[in-house]
Each structure stands twice: as C-alpha cells, then as structure tokens.
C-alpha cells in the first residue's frame, strides 16, 4: 500500500471515529434532556453499555446461559476488511471474478470462523463467494485463504466491498451457489476451456511426441496440455490453432497462461508467440522460466509492452498461439506444459485495506438473552428498573410503560445475524421504573 492509500485509510478511520463520537454525544445529550435525575441517567448509560457495548463475562456466555453470566453483554467481535476495486482499463466488466488473498489470523488467535466470512457491497448486498487455498489454525478457524467473488463494474468506475468475519463458531455455512466463471472479461469465458482438452493443440516442431492432457500436473481446472518429445534440429513446443480465428479481444487486452518446462539446461531459447494471420509477435522468456517450476506469463498486447517483431498486430483476430523452446542439437527430450491459456481485459486494480475490529450486535447472544428469565436480568440492573430491547423486528422485555416516563433511544448498529448475514439496523433500548 502506498502513502496515498494509507492517507485515505486514515481519513476514513477519522471520519468514522468522528461519526461515532457525534452519535454517542447525541445519544447522551438526548438522554440528559429526557432524564431528570443524574441517577437515572447513570443507570440508563449503564444499561446501554451493558447490552450494546460489552461482550459479557465470560465473552461466550451465550453457549451456557443456564448459568447466569458474571456480566451480560450483547456485543461480539466483528472484523471488517474494506476492498477497493478500480476499473482503469476503460472497459465495462460483467461477472469478472476477483480474488483477494487474506491473512485472517497470522498468529492463530482463532479470530475467523470460516462460516462467518461474508462479502457485501457498499449497499449491504451480499456477494456470492468462493473460499479457496485455505489454511486453518484449528478446526474451522482460518489462518488464511483466497476469497473470490464476481464484480460488475463500468469503465473507469470504483467500487467498495467489505469483507466481514468473526470468531462466532455457532454460525453455520451460507448456502452459496457455485461461483460463475462466465465473464465478458475473459476469452474463453472460464479462462481454462482451451487447456482442458487437446482439441486444436498440436506438436510444434520436434521429431516425436504426442500432445496429451496432464490431469496431475496442472495449475487450473482438470488438466494442463502436455508434450514430452524429442527435438528435431530446431524446436519443440505446443501450438494452439483453432479452426476459426480467436475473436472478441482487441489490442490492449492481455494474454495470460501458466507455462512449464521440465529442464531448461542446454536449450537456446524459450518463447511465447502469437500470430494474427499476418505477423507473429513473440516474447523471449528464457530468463524468466526455471526448470520444473510453473511460470505465470501475463502480458499486455500492444506495441509498447515488449513484444519482439511487432510491426503491427491485430488482437481482434488471432490465428494461433505457440509456446516452444529452441535448441541447436537433435535428440534432446523435454516436457513442456501450458495451462489456463486465455485472453483477458486489463486486470482490475484491487486494494485491500487493513482489518478493523468493531463491536457488532450479536443475534446469537440476543437469542440466548431471550431464553433467560426477565426478572433475573432486571435484578442485575437494580432499583426495580424495567427494560425493553428492540432490534429490527425482534424484541425482548416488557411492553414499554409510557406513563412511567420511559427513556428510549435509537442507535444504528451493525448486526451479525444468527445465520451470519450482516446488516445495519436500528437498535432501541427503553428503560423505566
């Protein structure tokens, strides 16, 4: 993150903090105008703090609420990671999958129960998401993972998303439908269709070797495209050459593929090449590939991005794509693989901000509270006070006695529901004697 991003993050935090102060100040000043005695005010503040600001003691008292907790509290830890998506390629996107790598819990304090992970846009619309490459601390508490969701975004637009997670292990997994990888941002639309088959692939050069699918050694999907062959006097490689030209992209798009060569020794060159029926442009990647390691090749298709032999090129109509190596002598045997070959729009810029911890209203704790005896809870408030809590359409307590000069206040608050969904709702507490 650069200093500008950090500045934005700090500004957002200060604004947020300022709003909290304003709300809190308003609340207490409303309260003081409504309450006539400082004693009542103190009690009201105390009840507000107990229910909404504290987690209770023990913090997970809701797991065994038949034993009256040392202290009540309806707050729960909720972590938020803001994610900013920037479209700066001047291209509209439909269903473009974006993936963020998140370290949820570096030191394994069990902060992130995997079922609690949710992503919302700035209007609290929940995103369908996919968790992959997860590592765990213990049980289902995440250490880190990749989170993927689909983004619709117009050319040159910015969008904010919010990733939430909490340690609440009573929350069950959401029922997401499998994430669609059918996007206008990739050709083929799932980025992997070409390399999951040997259709349209052939050996390039070589004296022997047959193109196969390798279902074991691969980077994306079910298989990579593989050749193990011996050199002729010049080249050994793979050619993707569909009958019809590849259309739908244009100059300014990117080409993306995972490339592999088992042994680079004694080879003269390793090259990636594309042909548009007119010219072949190529990139010499000899210095970037290592023996026996997948190399991620990603390059913008335009005249200024370092393609050799660019006199002209038209990415809107591509005839064939090659990945090959060159050698001066015959009979050398090598294995070459390619996976996930696709064309794509300029990648969206994804900025992930540091996590913040907030006190959310825990619906799980509220449900536990509702199962407890009202009079027992009242005793903890002292002085025969009565109370009522309302959250959205949900409530607990006695009907508010308006003739008893009840003091009520409303406060918008982030709610974590028992099914793990996140929303913002008005919480309301009334207290009277």
Residues 175-212: b if buried by 16+ CB within 10 A, e if exposed: eeeebebebebbbbbbbbbbbbebebbebbbbeebebe
Q: Write the interaction track for Ca ion spanning residues 292-321; mark x where CB under 5 A is met and - where it is not.
A: ---------------------------x--
The tokens for 205 are 């050069």
Does residue 241 interact with Ca ion by CB under 5 A?
yes
Does residue 232 interact with Ca ion by CB under 5 A?
no
CB 339, min distance to Ca ion, A: 5
Three-state DSSP at 134 gives strand
Q: Of 31 and 238, which CB lies nearer to Ca ion in the complex structure?
A: 238
Q: Of 195 and 226, which CB lies nearer to Ca ion in the complex structure?
A: 195
Q: Taking the CB of residue 430, how many other CB atoms lie within 10 A of it?
A: 22
Backbone angles phi, psi at 216, to 5 degrees: -100, -50
CB 274, min distance to Ca ion, A: 11
Find the part of the chain contacting Ca ion (CB under 5 A) among 149-157, 161-169, 192-200, 256-264: 192-200
What is the helix (H) or strand (E) element at residue 152, kind and residue range? strand 141-153
| Contact (Cβ atoms closer than 8 angstroms) between residue 181 and residue 94 | no
Q: Write the interaction track for Ca ion spanning residues 140-179; mark x where CB under 5 A is met and - where it is not.
A: ----------------------------------------
Find the part of the chain contacting Ca ion (CB under 5 A) among 177-185, 238-246, 377-385, 402-410: 238-246
Q: Taking the CB of residue 429, how many other CB atoms lie within 10 A of it?
A: 21
Distance between CA atoms of residues 257 and 340, nearest Å = 5
Does residue 226 interact with Ca ion by CB under 5 A?
no
Distance between CA atoms of residues 286 and 282, nearest Å = 12
The tokens for 401 are 């006695």
Find the part of the chain contacting Ca ion (CB under 5 A) among 61-69, 185-193, 298-306, 342-350: 185-193
Does residue 220 interact with Ca ion by CB under 5 A?
yes
Q: What angle do CA 208, 211, 216 make, to 5 degrees?
A: 125
Q: What angle do CA 281, 287, 291 make, to 5 degrees?
A: 110
Q: Of 270 and 274, which CB lies nearer to Ca ion in the complex structure?
A: 274
Give the chain's radius of gyration (CA, Å).
30
**Number of residues in contact with Ca ion under rule CB under 5 A:** 8
CB 341, min distance to Ca ion, A: 9
CB 234, min distance to Ca ion, A: 21
Task: Tell me which residues in 323-362 interact with Ca ion (CB under 5 A).
Answer: 339
Q: Of 8 and 220, which CB lies nearer to Ca ion in the complex structure?
A: 220
Q: Write the interaction track for Ca ion spanning residues 112-131; mark x where CB under 5 A is met and - where it is not.
A: --------------------
CB 262, min distance to Ca ion, A: 18
Pairing of strands 158-165, 75-86: antiparallel
Q: Of 62 and 339, which CB lies nearer to Ca ion in the complex structure?
A: 339
Query: In sequence order, what are the beta bridge partners of 211?
Result: 227
The binder of Ca ion chosen from 195, 235, 271, 275 (CB under 5 A): 195
Chain residue whose CB lies nearest Ca ion? 221
Does residue 275 interact with Ca ion by CB under 5 A?
no
Does residue 192 interact with Ca ion by CB under 5 A?
yes
The binder of Ca ion chosen from 44, 116, 166, 196 (CB under 5 A): 196
Separation of CA 125 from chain center: 14
Q: Of 196 and 386, which CB lies nearer to Ca ion in the complex structure?
A: 196
Q: Furthest-apart CA pair in the chain: how many Å?
A: 100
395: CB partners within 8 A, 6+ apart: 388, 389
Residue ranges binding Ca ion (CB under 5 A): 192, 195-196, 220-221, 241, 319, 339
């Amino acid at each position: 993150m650069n200093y500008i991003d950090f500045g934005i993050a700090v500004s957002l935090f200060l604004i947020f903090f300022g709003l909290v102060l304003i709300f809190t100040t308003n609340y207490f000043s409303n309260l003081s105008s409504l309450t006539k005695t400082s004693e009542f005010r103190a009690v009201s503040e105390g009840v507000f703090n107990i229910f909404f600001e504290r987690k209770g003691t023990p913090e997970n008292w809701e797991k065994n609420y038949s034993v009256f907790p040392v202290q009540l509290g309806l707050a729960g830890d909720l972590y938020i990671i803001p994610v900013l998506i920037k479209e700066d390629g001047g291209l509209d996107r439909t269903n473009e999958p974006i993936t963020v790598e998140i370290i949820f819990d570096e030191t394994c304090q069990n902060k992130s129960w995997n079922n609690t992970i949710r992503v919302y846009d700035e209007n609290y619309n929940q995103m369908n998401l996919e968790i992959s490459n997860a590592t765990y601390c213990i049980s289902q508490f995440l250490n880190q993972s990749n989170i993927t969701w689909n983004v619709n975004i117009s050319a040159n637009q910015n969008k904010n998303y919010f990733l939430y997670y909490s340690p609440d292990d009573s929350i069950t997994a959401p029922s997401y439908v499998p994430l669609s990888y059918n996007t206008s941002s990739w050709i083929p639309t799932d980025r992997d269709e070409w390399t999951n088959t040997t259709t349209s692939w052939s050996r390039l050069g070589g004296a022997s070797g047959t193109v196969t699918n390798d279902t074991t050694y691969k980077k994306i999907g079910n298989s990579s495209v593989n050749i193990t062959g011996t050199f002729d006097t010049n080249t050994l490689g793979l050619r993707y050459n569909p009958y019809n030209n590849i259309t739908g992209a244009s100059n300014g798009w990117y080409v993306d593929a995972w490339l592999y060569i088992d042994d680079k020794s004694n080879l003269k060159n390793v090259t990636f090449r594309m042909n548009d029926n007119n010219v072949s442009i190529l990139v010499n990647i000899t210095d970037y590939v290592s023996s026996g390691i997948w190399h991620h090749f990603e390059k913008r298709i335009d005249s200024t991005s370092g393609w050799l032999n660019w006199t002209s090129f038209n990415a809107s109509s591509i005839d064939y794509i090659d990945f090959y190596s060159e050698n001066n002598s015959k009979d050398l045997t090598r294995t070459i693989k390619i996976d996930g070959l696709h064309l794509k729009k300029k990648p969206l810029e994804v900025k992930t901000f540091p996590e913040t911890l907030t006190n959310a209203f825990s619906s799980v704790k509220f449900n536990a509270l509702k199962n407890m005896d009202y009079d027992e809870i009242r005793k903890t408030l002292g002085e025969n006070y009565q109370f009522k809590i309302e959250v959205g359409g949900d409530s607990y307590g006695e009907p508010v006695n308006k003739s008893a000069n009840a003091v009520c206040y409303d406060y918008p608050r982030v709610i974590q529901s028992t099914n793990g969904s996140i929303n913002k709702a008005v919480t309301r507490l009334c207290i009277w004697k």
